[in-house]
Amino acid sequence: MERLKPLALLLLRLALGVVFIYHGYPKLFTHRGQTMYALVHEDGLPAYFAYIAGVIELGGGAMLVAGFFTTCAGIALTIEQAVVLWKVDRVFAHPLAVDRYQLALVCMAGAFVLAAIGAGPISLDAARGKGRGRSPSKPKRRD
């Protein structure tokens, strides 16, 4: 089963990345008025949060797909989804209404896993020696 770990991390990165890109793009390029109205009047967040969330979701999703700075992207996406759970989906007000916050919860958990484990060996992080899935070989010192 250990041999499947690189493929599992790749599939998790691709799936989460596509979902975040799908949800981040409209916040920046379409439906801005509707999104901002909902954030300000229904969720009590400042209107610029739509832009912040859009940049984090679109940029972070693209970084997950490429496996580039995966730990940083995972941390940013985890924090952003925690805010979504707290302020938008109101998880603490309605903890049993899982249907209201299931997507944000799963996305937050997946982003946290990638932040904690890393991108794996099939990534740009691994190609630059930062993937945590494969440690770069260190030259041995001769005394």
pLDDT confidence bin for 60, thresholds 50/70/90 = very high
Averaged pLDDT for residues 118-127: 94
Cα–Cα distance list, 130 to 7, 27, 115, 124, 138 (Å): 17, 31, 12, 8, 13
CA-to-CA distance for 26 and 65, rounded, in angstroms?
Answer: 18
Please count the CA atoms within 13 angstroms of the CA of 73 that sit on its side-chain side.
26
- Contact of 108 with 81, CB cutoff 8 Å: yes
Averaged pLDDT for residues 38-64: 86
Residue 143 pLDDT: 55
Kindly report, residue by residue over 69-117, the tens digit of the pLDDT: 999 999 999 999 999 999 888 888 888 888 889 999 999 999 999 999 9
- Pull the structure tokens for residue 134: 């494969």
